[in-house]
C-alpha cells in the first residue's frame, strides 16, 4: 500500500455542472493548488477553500499521516480483527461508518460499484484516481452511524489492544480511535455544508 490519499469535500452541484472532461483538473487543483509554496508544511485539519480556483471545495489533512493511505489501511485492518470482539451495539454502526470510508467489509463483491454514476468517466487504469466517492445523499447516513458508534467506541479499547495491536502505522486502540474520530470530523463538516466527499489516491 504505497498510496497517498487527499480527502476533499466538494459542492456536488458545482462539480456536476463542470464539464466532465474538466473535473479531474479541478479536483487535482483542489488537492495541490498551483499557487501553493513548494516548501510549505501541510496544514493540518480543514482548509477552506482548498484552492482559490475551486471555491466550493475544502481539503482535510489528517494529523500525523503525512498524506499516506497506510494509516487508513492499518486502521481498517485493525477493525477487521477487533470487530469480532466488539459489543454488537458498536459493531453494527461502526461497520457501516467505516465501510463507507476506509474498510473493505466482509463482502468484496460491491467493492467496484460506482456510488455516483455519471460523475466521473470510467478509468481504464488499474487504480481509479478517485479512491473514495461519497455523494451528499450518503453523508447523513454516515453521520448517523457515527452518532450511534461514538458513545461506545472507548469500550473497545481493551479488546482492541489485546487482539489487534501491532507494530505499524496504527499500533494500538488510541491511534485507531484518533484516526476514526478524524473521519468523523470530516463527515460532520461535509454534512453540515451539504457537500460530498472524494478521496484522491495516487
Task: Check residue 201 and give its pLDDT.
Answer: 87
Q: Band the pLDDT of 109: cuts 50, 70, 90.
A: very low
Task: Check residue 104 and give its pLDDT.
Answer: 83
pTM: 0.88
Nearest to 86 by CA among 164, 141, 142: 164
- For the chain, the structural domain boundaries read 5-201
Place of cell 479512491: 131
Alpha-carbon dihedral 140, 137, 184, 8, rounded to 10 degrees: -150
How large a percentage of the chain has pLDDT more than 90? Answer: 74
pLDDT higher than 70, residue 24: yes
Q: What is the pLDDT of residues 161-202, one digit of tens each?
A: 999 999 989 999 999 999 999 999 999 999 999 999 999 987
Long-range CB pairs of 32-41, under 8 A, 24+ apart, other chains included: 32/6
Beta bridge partners of 6: 200
Cα separations (Å) of 63 from 53, 126, 198? 25, 29, 18
How large a percentage of the chain has pLDDT more than 70? Answer: 83
Task: Check residue 21 and give its pLDDT.
Answer: 87
pLDDT higher than 80, residue 96: yes
Task: Check residue 202 and give its pLDDT.
Answer: 79
Q: Which residues contact 130 (CB under 8 A, 6 or more apart)?
A: 27, 120, 198, 199, 200, 201
pLDDT higher than 70, residue 119: no
Q: Band the pLDDT of 105: cuts 50, 70, 90.
A: confident
Task: Check residue 127 and give its pLDDT.
Answer: 39
Q: Which residues contact 167 (CB under 8 A, 6 or more apart)?
A: none
Q: Band the pLDDT of 125: cuts 50, 70, 90.
A: very low
Question: What element of type H or E holds 60?
Answer: strand 57-61
Task: Check residue 49 and give its pLDDT.
Answer: 96
Q: CA quadruple 194, 149, 43, 128: dihedral positive or negative?
A: negative
Amino acid at each position: 500500500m504505497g498510496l497517498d490519499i487527499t480527502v476533499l469535500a466538494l459542492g456536488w452541484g458545482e462539480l456536476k455542472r463542470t464539464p466532465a472532461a474538466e473535473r479531474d483538473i479541478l479536483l487535482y487543483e483542489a488537492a495541490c493548488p498551483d499557487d501553493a509554496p513548494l516548501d510549505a508544511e501541510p496544514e493540518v485539519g480543514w482548509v477552506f477553500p482548498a484552492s482559490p480556483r475551486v471555491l466550493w471545495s475544502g481539503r482535510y489533512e489528517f494529523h500525523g499521516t503525512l498524506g499516506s493511505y497506510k494509516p487508513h489501511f492499518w486502521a481498517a485492518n485493525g477493525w477487521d480483527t477487533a470487530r469480532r470482539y466488539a459489543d454488537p451495539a458498536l459493531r453494527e454502526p461502526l461497520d457501516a461508518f467505516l465501510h463507507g470510508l476506509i474498510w473493505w467489509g466482509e463482502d468484496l463483491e460491491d467493492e467496484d460499484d460506482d456510488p455516483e454514476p455519471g460523475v466521473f468517466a470510467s478509468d481504464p487504469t488499474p487504480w481509479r484516481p478517485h479512491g473514495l466517492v461519497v455523494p451528499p445523499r450518503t453523508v447523513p447516513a454516515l453521520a448517523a452511524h457515527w452518532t450511534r458508534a461514538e458513545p461506545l467506541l472507548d469500550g473497545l479499547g481493551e479488546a482492541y489492544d489485546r487482539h489487534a495491536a501491532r507494530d505499524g502505522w496504527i499500533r494500538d486502540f488510541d491511534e485507531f480511535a484518533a484516526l476514526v474520530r478524524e473521519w468523523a470530523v470530516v463527515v460532520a463538516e461535509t454534512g453540515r455544508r451539504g457537500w460530498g466527499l472524494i478521496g484522491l489516491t495516487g
